[in-house]
Amino acid sequence: MPATSSRLRRPRRAVVGIIAALSTAALLSACSQGASSAGGGSGDSYTPAAKNTSANLTYAVWDQTQVAAIDANLKGFNAEYPNIKVTVSVIPWGDYWTKLQTEASSNSMPDLFWMNGPNFQLYASNGKIAPITGEVKAGAIDPKNYSSSLDDLYNYKGVQYGVPKDFDTIGMWVNKALFQEAGVALPSANWTWADFQSDALQISQKLKSKGIYGITAGMDGQTTYYPTIFQAGGYVISPDGKKSGYDTPETEAGLQFWTDLIKNGSSPNMKQLTETAGDQWFVSGKSAMFQGGSWARTEIGSSPIAKDVQVYPLPTGKVAANVIHGVSNVVAAGSKNLAAARALQVYLASRTAQQQQGDMGAVIPAFTGTQTAFANSMPGVNLQVFLDEVQIAKPFPVSKNTAAWNTLETNLLPDAFDGTKSVSAVGSDLATQMNAALAKEQ
């Protein structure tokens, strides 16, 4: 086998190489014909692309439900740049990053694409995406128009690579009818951990015979334990990205918050919550509260309990805190249509484009002052909470290889959530392993 293969390998490779060279040459010549002004080049300088720039761009996204709003944006963009043709490539979430990694390894990434927090530093540190330093300097994009926590998410070593296109925060979805049924008074807007814990426990006890719980303590970073870790004054990863916070007492208190709810029966247990997710318990009227993201509004709004729902701010622990995450549009550093891609990136960051995104109900747009459509989309539910929480929200915790320690969280935390080990034992174990993973990143 080795003999045959190696004999075949060399000529084949040569052929591939030649063809690759030929096709690259063809592409390059096609490009130089297309992009008339090479404006918007690399580095710090940014000159807006000429209006007659012609190019074919690929814009990769993962959410089919936003395509209508994107198409509307592109119409506006093409009014400015009639000769830039944009193909929107929708890749399902499950395959998006696999595809992007493959393309990044082969230097054939889409010109413009969606980036999220956990993956950002990986692509930025490997030089796969282009900074927006030039755009910011030239005033084409002003980071001040967006939440600073979100800007920070897309800043790597002091360099900005994108601004958010949308955001999500977390709120407490409350089923008022179940509160009433249990005879528990509705929460106040400035409630505390203690208030919340007592409400959850009371409801679970009173409605136990009906299989109804006060809360669902699902094990999910963004919606459950990250916010409470911050509220307890703890951290998941140190600001310099080198140290895990899981062995600090504050962070452990944030975890303990949830494990206690499971232990005293305020919430279904881990197994129940894995087989039937928290949102399902809530929309089926089997849970009085659900700590969930702003994105849950579509599902909750079309459920039978929609009319009983109200959103409350998260209860305050040692401090009031929330978690914010948002998606950003980033340009591939190796894009052959850099100028055109930047023009589109700038356009999509504009107030006009984001206002349109918000008005079409796709997302909460990130540009400050464009979110009224979102707040009004469910009258009487007080979606405004999700916007107000931005003030106290911390950026979603990430590092260069976020996924590596996310896997550790998923693998180790269950022992704490199902009560087989103490939170501090799991916390220190997780911290040790996470620190090792972080050390590997350097």
Partner 1 sequence: MTAIRSGAKATHRKYDGAWPWLFVLPLLIGVVGFYVWPIIQTAYYSFTTWGVFGGSTWTGGANYAALFADPQLYRSLLNTVIYTAIVLLGVPLSVWLASLLNTPGLRFVQFYRLLFFLPYVAMPVAISLVWRMIFNGDFGLLNWVLKLVGIHGPYWLTTEWFALIAVSIVGLWSSLGFSMILLGAGLKNIPPDLYEAAELDGASRPRQFFSITVPLLTPSIFFVLIITIISSFQLFDLLYAMLGAHNAVMPKTMSLVFYFYQSGFINNDKGFASAVAIFIFALIGVITLVQFRLQRRWVHND
Partner 2 sequence: MTDVSAAARTRRGSRGRRPSHALIHVVLGIGGFLMAVPFLWQIIMSLSTNAEVQSVTPVFWPQHLEWGNFTQVFAQMPFLSQLRTSVIITVIRTFAQIVLCTMAGYAFARMRFPFKGVLLGVVLSILLVPSQAYLISQYQIVQGLGWLNTLLGLVAPGLFSAFGTFLMRTAFINMPRELEEAARIDGANPIQIFWRVMLPLARPSISALAITTVLFSWNELLWPLVVANDPANMPLAAGLATIAGDVTVNYPVLMAASLLAMAPVLIAFIVMQRRVIDGLASSGLK
Binding residues for partner 1, rule: CB under 8 A, are 4-5, 8-9, 12, 97-98, 101, 104-105, 122, 126, 128, 219-220, 270-272, 274-276, 401, 403-404, 407, 410-411, 414, 417-418
Which does residue 151 bind out of partner 1, partner 2, none, counting CB within 5 to 8 angstroms by kind? none
Which does residue 173 bind out of partner 2, partner 1, none, counting CB within 5 to 8 angstroms by kind? none
Q: What is the DSSP letter of 371?
A: -
What H or E segment, with its residue span, contains residue 288? Answer: none
In the complex with partner 2, the residue whose CB is nearer, 90 or 360, is: 90
Binding mask 104-143 for partner 2 (x = CB under 8 A): -xx-x-x---------------------------------
Which listed range, 61-69, 127-135, 231-239, 341-349, lies at the site for partner 2 (CB under 8 A)?
61-69
Residue listed under structure tokens 């296109």 = 165
Enter the tokens of residue 143: 């980071």
d(CA 429, CA 12): 50
Determine, following the binding rule CB under 8 A, whether residue 14 of this chain makes contact with partner 2. Answer: no
Determine, following the binding rule CB under 8 A, whether residue 209 of this chain makes contact with partner 2. Answer: no
Which does residue 401 bind out of partner 1, partner 2, none, counting CB within 5 to 8 angstroms by kind? partner 1
Determine, following the binding rule CB under 8 A, whether residue 79 of this chain makes contact with partner 2. Answer: no
Determine, following the binding rule CB under 8 A, whether residue 378 of this chain makes contact with partner 2. Answer: no
Which does residue 95 bind out of partner 2, partner 1, none, counting CB within 5 to 8 angstroms by kind? partner 2
d(CA 65, CA 362): 7
d(CA 214, CA 339): 54
Q: Which residue among 286, 336, 342, 400 contacts partner 2 (CB under 8 A)?
A: 286
CB 429, CB 416: distance < 8 Å = no
Please name every residue paired with 365 in a beta bridge, in sequence order, or none if there are none. 166
Contacts of residue 254, Cβ cutoff 8 Å, sequence gap at least 6: 225, 228, 229, 230, 231, 232, 234, 317
CB 326, CB 320: distance < 8 Å = no
Residue 17: burial class (beta carbons within 10 Å; 0-12, 13-18, 19+): exposed
CA angle, residues 426, 242, 240, in degrees to nearest 5: 125
Taken as a whole, the chain contains a residue count of 442
In the complex with partner 2, the residue whose CB is nearer, 158 or 304, is: 304
Contacting positions for partner 2 (CB under 8 A):
1, 4-5, 16-17, 19-20, 22-23, 26, 58, 60, 62-65, 67, 87-95, 98-99, 101-103, 105-106, 108, 110, 276, 279-281, 283-284, 286, 293, 295-296, 298-299, 302-304
